[in-house]
Amino acid sequence: MYMKIPYFWALCTQYKDLEMASVKDKVKDNGKTKVTGYSKFTKETYLFWYEKMQLLRKFEEKAGQLYGQQKIKGFCHLYIGQEACALGAVSALKKGDKYITAYRDHGQPLALGTSPNAIMAELYGKSTGSSKGKGGSMHIFDKEVGFVGGHGIVGGQVPLGAGLAFAEKYKGTDNLCICYMGDGAVRQGAFHETLNMAMLWKIPVIFVIENNGYAMGTSVQRTSNVTELYKLGESYDIPSEAVDAMRVEEVHLAVERAAERARKGDGPTLLEFRTYRYKGHSMSDPAKYRTKEELEEYKAQDPIEQVRLAIFENKYATEADLEKIDKGIKEVVEASVKFAEESPYPLATEAYKDVYVDQNYPFIIE
């Protein structure tokens, strides 16, 4: 058994105890200040989070089931446990901002509003999919919501994310790009080259390391001398921080701060989202490098359950209200499966399309 990572939640615990007067309610208890809630966030925000996070969870659970039935083929990387990483960012950013990530890429487009039908069809490799059935699980795209992939090369999306943000700066907009990557990507040279250039040119990009502790299956401690990964940004004078990404509120607040800096022209931020995936790296990963006890420990901090508890504590909804939402989500997911199964596969001629912008480019010579 590989060693566990005891450092993993140390800073996350600190974030739960931070005194943020402008955001959190406080009460005095024997002379000590205690955090009791997040008054900044409304009923509408919590219900948005709950519904979308449940959609991500139920969609991914269904995708895993279908993969086991061999209806979904190829690679498949599920987002179960990491839902707050996507939803906290979506609620903090605005229309026009761009999103880019690696190949665990079903969560962000679902959070942004991409049709579950289009994503499920893409997983099936059908022509009605978001990438016309040509990308599959690892290459979801949706220009309409600002989601620019879905990239299969580890760390390959990092310079692309900076490029998307530079384009916004060049055009004179106040849009930004949030660029997600896994903890394994920070060992890539392109990561360091991009951080240096982004800070030098004050590019409006938010770099997010979704640190679920194990990359593809090896703990951070066994692969990196620097185990508090946000500190890598400090090497380039980039404002950097660790975030308890099992709490959607903390994700929102961190992204909000980073977005404010970016829109003011102060350049990039590096956020280390400390999260946890409940499933293996991919569907073929039995995850034997961690214990069942560790998995259950993190499930006890489930991000959706924490939102559910906040809803009940604030009397924003009843159990019956949430059950109604859950029922609707189940129907949406089942409908996406039906849509995917009834959709046609791409024609063979599609292999020659979407290669060049110039539709008449002579890349085939008789």
In a domain, 12, yes or no: no
In a domain, 6, yes or no: no
**Residue reference for tokens 């140390």:** 10
* Beta pairing, strands 24-29 & 32-38: antiparallel
Looking at the 3D structure of the chain, how many domains does it have? 1
Chain position carrying tokens 């293996």: 280
Closest alpha carbon to 60 in 246, 300, 278, 214:
278
Structural domain contains residue 113: yes
- For residues 175 and 98, the answer to whether their CB atoms sit within 8 Å is yes
Q: Whole-prediction pTM value?
A: 0.87
- Round the average pLDDT of the chain to a whole number and report it: 88
User: Over the stretch 121-130, which tens digit does the pLDDT of each residue have?
Assistant: 999 999 999 9
In a domain, 19, yes or no: no
Residue 364 pLDDT: 64
CA–CA dist 157, 172 (Å, integer): 23
Choice among 25-39, 201-215, 224-238, 274-288 with the minimum mean pLDDT:
25-39
Instruction: Say if 1 falls within a structural domain.
Output: no
Residue 13 lies in a domain: no
Q: How far is CA 282 from CA 60, 123, 164, 194, 287, in A?
A: 12, 14, 28, 27, 9
**Phi, psi values for residue 208, rounded to 5°:** -120, 120
Is residue 194 included in any domain, yes or no? Answer: yes
Q: Flag whether 297 is in a domain.
A: yes
- Per the structure, the complete domain to which residue 296 belongs is given by 29-301+309-342
pLDDT computed for residue 285 by the predictor: 77
The set of residues, in sequence order, having a beta carbon less than 8 Å from that of 95 and lying 6+ positions away, is 146
Which residues pair with residue 25 across a beta bridge?
37
- In the beta sheet, which residues pair with residue 207? 179, 270
- Is the pLDDT at 37 greater than 80, yes or no? no
- Write the CATH number for 165: 3.40.50.970
